[in-house]
Amino acid sequence: MARALSNVPANAKRGKVIEIKTLTRHPMETGYRRGASGEEIPRDIISRFTCTYNGAEIFRADLYPAIAANPFISFFTVATESGELVFAWTDDHGKTQTETAKITVL
Amino acid sequence: MDHQSSPGGATRRELISAAALVPGAQLLSVLMASPARASTPDGMEASIREFVGEASMREGRVKLEVPPLVDNGNSVTLTVSVESPMTEADHVTRIAVFNEKNPQPNVAVFHLGPRNGKAQVQTRIRLATSQKLVAIARMSDGSFWSASVDTIVTLAACLEG
């Protein structure tokens, strides 16, 4: 999916703490702005981000309108086993966009 | 006095008074809209109280990094790190970030656990004006630790872009 990006090392030694970076395309419209003719632009933000590692949730973030457009989030995790990391961004309307990254643990 | 009618039917006096009123009314609505929406230091205190509850909070263990001088408030890199071994017995469970003067006091809440290995998160935020930011970490033993930082914003978010 072109709308979301993640940066996860392809290989890692077991037990190593690795950094994970994620970025997705989204306007994060605050709901506080007005359009050209003065009408309020309705709020539309990603309010939740989760990361699961082989099905188990390892990180979650609740986001508010103060997060900049195209939200960037980075965090760390311990490389425990080979498998899949799934990132999910959920917006105010409950629509979820996901991205998957594979990791090989040596 | 002789009233001279304009083509639209309104008198000269009516047109002038109408023209004078419009910008005033717009300005008034802008002035009235902003204070009701803006987060205040009190609003931030209330949100922090909601997060911390009855527990006591101490300064320390948390490091909050934001550029001291921000050129563009639309995208400001913010890093929070917490001193913690991140073991099953002793780890950070949550990190919350609050601001003083954006329209809302909340910025983000991050949920962590021992599997993170290192208690550090980074994101990009909006800043409406120069203000104080506060980061609070909740540890697995139920204690709360905080750090705050003051930033100066030269181009504000929320107004343009």
CATH number, domain containing residue B63? 2.60.40.2470
Least confident of B35-39, B98-102, B109-113: B35-39
ipTM: 0.93
Q: Among residues B123, B102, B50, B40, which one has the least CA distance to residue A68?
A: B123
Question: How many domains are there within chain B?
Answer: 2
- Contact at CB, A66 and B102, closer than 8 angstroms: yes
Interface probe for A, chosen from B124, B132, B138 (most Cβ of A below 10 Å), is B124
Sequence-distant (6+) residues with CB within 8 A of B70 are B76, B127, B151, B152, B153, B154, B155
B117 at A interface, C-beta within 8 A: yes
**Same domain for B25 and B71?**
no
**Same domain for B69 and B127?**
yes
- Residues in B closer than 8 angstroms to A74, CB to CB, are 121-123
pLDDT digits (tens, 9 = 90+) for B15-30: 555 555 554 444 444 4
A56 at B interface, C-beta within 8 A: yes
User: pLDDT-based confidence at B38, cuts 50/70/90?
Assistant: low
Residue B24 within any structural domain of the chain: yes
Confidence at residue B18, expressed as pLDDT on a 0 to 100 scale: 54
Domain membership of residue A71 as a residue range: 4-105
Mean pLDDT of B91-110: 94
- Contact at CB, B103 and A65, closer than 8 angstroms: yes
| pLDDT at residue B53 tops 80 | yes
**Same domain for B99 and B65?**
yes
Q: Which two tokens stand for residue A6?
A: 């993640």
**Same domain for B144 and B66?**
yes
Question: How many domains are there within chain A?
Answer: 1
Confidence at residue A32, expressed as pLDDT on a 0 to 100 scale: 87
Across chain B, what does the average pLDDT equal? Answer: 81
Mean pLDDT of B154-160: 70
Mean pLDDT of B102-119: 94
Residue of B nearest to A74 (CA): B122
User: pLDDT-based confidence at B13, cuts 50/70/90?
Assistant: low
User: pLDDT-based confidence at B33, cuts 50/70/90?
Assistant: very low
**Same domain for B48 and B121?**
yes
Domain membership of residue B124 as a residue range: 41-153
Residue B136 within any structural domain of the chain: yes
Confidence at residue A77, expressed as pLDDT on a 0 to 100 scale: 96
Residue B159 within any structural domain of the chain: no
Q: A33-36: list long-range contacts, CB under 8 Å, 24+ apart.
A: A33/B158
- Contact at CB, B112 and A32, closer than 8 angstroms: no
A80 at B interface, C-beta within 8 A: yes
**Same domain for B131 and B91?**
yes
User: pLDDT-based confidence at B14, cuts 50/70/90?
Assistant: low
Confidence at residue B155, expressed as pLDDT on a 0 to 100 scale: 81
**Same domain for B32 and B45?**
no
Residue B76 within any structural domain of the chain: yes
**Same domain for B83 and B24?**
no
Residue B81 within any structural domain of the chain: yes
Q: How far is B105 from chain A (nearest CA, A)?
A: 9
Write the CATH number for A98: 2.60.40.10
Characterize the bridge pairing of strands B69-70 and B144-153.
parallel
**Same domain for B51 and B74?**
yes
Residue B79 within any structural domain of the chain: yes
d(CA B49, CA B153): 26
Confidence at residue B16, expressed as pLDDT on a 0 to 100 scale: 56
DSSP per-residue letters across B52-63 = HTTS-EEE-SEE
Q: How far is B17 from chain A (nearest CA, A)?
A: 23
**Same domain for B32 and B2?**
yes
pLDDT truncated to tens, each residue of chain A (106 aa)? 348 899 999 999 999 999 999 999 999 999 888 888 888 889 999 999 999 999 999 999 999 999 999 999 999 999 999 999 999 999 999 999 999 999 999 9
- Residues in B closer than 8 angstroms to A33, CB to CB, are 158
